[in-house]
Structure 1
Amino acid sequence: MFIRHENFRSFTRHYPIVTGIIIIHILLWFVFSMLPGGQQLLYLGIGSNYDVYNGEYWRLLTPIFLHSSFGHMLFNSFSLAIFGPALERMLGKPIFIITYLLSGVLANIGTYFVAPINYYHLGSSSAIFGLFGVYLYMVIYRKDLIDRMNSQIIISILVIGMVMTFFRSDINIYAHIFGLIGGAALAPIVLRKASRYY
């Protein structure tokens, strides 16, 4: 389920949504990091509670695709490449992208209401934790969709992820928590017609 056997070409063919999101990550990181004036452009998309308060509601969506460094972008893209494909196959492409984006937006809304007004954030981990929320729901309520070994992998990754969330100062704790909750809340809806990944 989480072990990739595909080559690059077959991966992109079978999982176009995951591939597309990763390409967007890379392109945006390149534009904002390498091109003149990129940092100024980056500011227009980062999560900013103050600017959301003043009506810039696109900032609830755009941070999902932005990253603070190459390592940040690489880690999140790698996580998506591992944990995204099974859900893209199980949910179908339209439901998968809706789940991914809505989880990230819900996480950023949660950040807006809980974090200080001068709080800034960016990164796709909000949406990725939404995917973990869907998997956690499967582990607890839809055991027909996930086997024991992969359930143990999800629980282990979640424990490690939450420990890192609270012990690293540069992580948006709110987005991880609300992303996880958002994904779990969406799960009973998006998994209604899901079939097991093989």
Structure 2
Amino acid sequence: MFIRNETFSSFIRNYPIITTIVVIHLILFLWINATLFTNGLFPFGDKILMYGVGQTGQIEAGEYWRLVTPIFLHQGTGHVLFNSISLILFGPALERMLGKGKFLLAYVAIGTLANIATTILTGTFYTHLGASGAIFGLFGIYLYMVWKRKDLIDWASAQMITVILVLGVVMTFIRPNINIAAHIFGLLFGFLFASPLLRHARPFYAIPNDNEIRFQPNRWKRRRFFSSEKLFRWIGWVFIMLVIIGILSRLF
């Protein structure tokens, strides 16, 4: 479920919601930082950050769009890359299983609810931004699969997501400057909403398409050794290893 077998172009075609969200992440990140480091050569980046960041006091004063906009904003390079790679790794199976509309609704709604929890539980001057609450919501949906919908997730994927989730929760409490409320409540809301979201879902490997995402016993016999599909698959493995190494390096 978490290893990509597609080419770059077929990934974009198969997962348009995830592709769009990642592009938004990168465009806004580059725009904000271009403004900060070029003395205004690229205008309005500072305004995007100023009016988009989550700020508890301003949300309480009625600026409710700040419950949504932080989901798409990042400032540090590691922050935007870690969240975007996590979405690329763990989002595609859910986009296929839930459908584009339901996946987008779940992602934004869970991220917004996580930010509402943050607003309720933090002080007036607390600020936050990042997609982590929404991404932990995806982990919550997978956690429900591991617990109640084993028909939707294979054993290896269940083991992998469990390890990543445990490390992610531990890292939430030991790293500085982490929005703990968004992580924990994102996970909780994803778990709570998983049952209705997955009501008509089919296993990822059982969903047909024209790019052979499904398992086929003879698929490797028909591939060239240096095919772009195989390269993209190895990139997927590298991404997963980087995520795990990044988590472990912050733990020890």
Shorter-chain TM-score bucket reads over 0.9
Greater mean alpha carbon deviation, residues 27-36 or residues 12-21: 27-36
Shift of 1:172: 0.6
Shift of 1:69: 1.1
| Equivalent residue number for residue 80 of structure 1 | 87
Larger Cα Rg: Structure 1 or Structure 2?
Answer: 2
Shift of 1:7: 1.5
Aligned AA (1:115): T
Aligned AA (1:59): R
- Equivalent residue in structure 2 for 1:46, among 50, 53, 58: 53
| Equivalent residue number for residue 34 of structure 1 | 34
Which segments of structure 1 move beyond 3 Å, counting only runs of 4 or more?
none
| Equivalent residue number for residue 121 of structure 1 | 128
Aligned AA (1:49): T
Shift of 1:41: 2.8
Shift of 1:45: 0.4
**Alignment partner of 1:144: what SS?**
helix
Greater mean alpha carbon deviation, residues 35-44 or residues 63-72: 35-44
- Equivalent residue in structure 1 for 2:154, among 147, 151, 168: 147
1:57-76 pair list within 5 angstroms? 57-76=64-83
Cα distance in 1 for residues equivalent to 2:113 and 2:15:
24
The number of aligned residues is 198
Cα distance in 1 for residues equivalent to 2:11 and 2:101:
18
| Equivalent residue number for residue 168 of structure 1 | 175
Runs of 5+ consecutive residues of structure 1 not aligned to the other structure: none
Runs of 5+ consecutive residues of structure 2 not aligned to the other structure: 206-252
* 1:132 and 2:132 correspond: no
| Equivalent residue number for residue 102 of structure 1 | 109
Shift of 1:39: 2.6
Aligned AA (1:68): Q
- Cα RMSD between the aligned structures? 0.9
Aligned AA (1:88): E
- Deviation string 1:50-90 (CA, Å, 9 cap, x unpaired) is 00000000000000000121221011000000000000000
Aligned AA (2:103): F
* 1:7 and 2:14 correspond: no
Using the aligned pairs only, state the percent identity.
Answer: 55
| Equivalent residue number for residue 25 of structure 1 | 25
Cα distance in 2 for residues equivalent to 1:186 and 1:154:
18
Cα contact 2:32–2:75 (8 A) shared by 1:
no
**Alignment partner of 1:116: what SS?**
coil
Cα contact 2:173–2:180 (8 A) shared by 1:
yes
Aligned AA (1:33): N
- Deviation string 1:91-119 (CA, Å, 9 cap, x unpaired) is 00000000100110010011011112211
Cα distance in 2 for residues equivalent to 1:186 and 1:46:
26
TM-score, reference length from structure 2:
0.77
Aligned AA (1:107): A
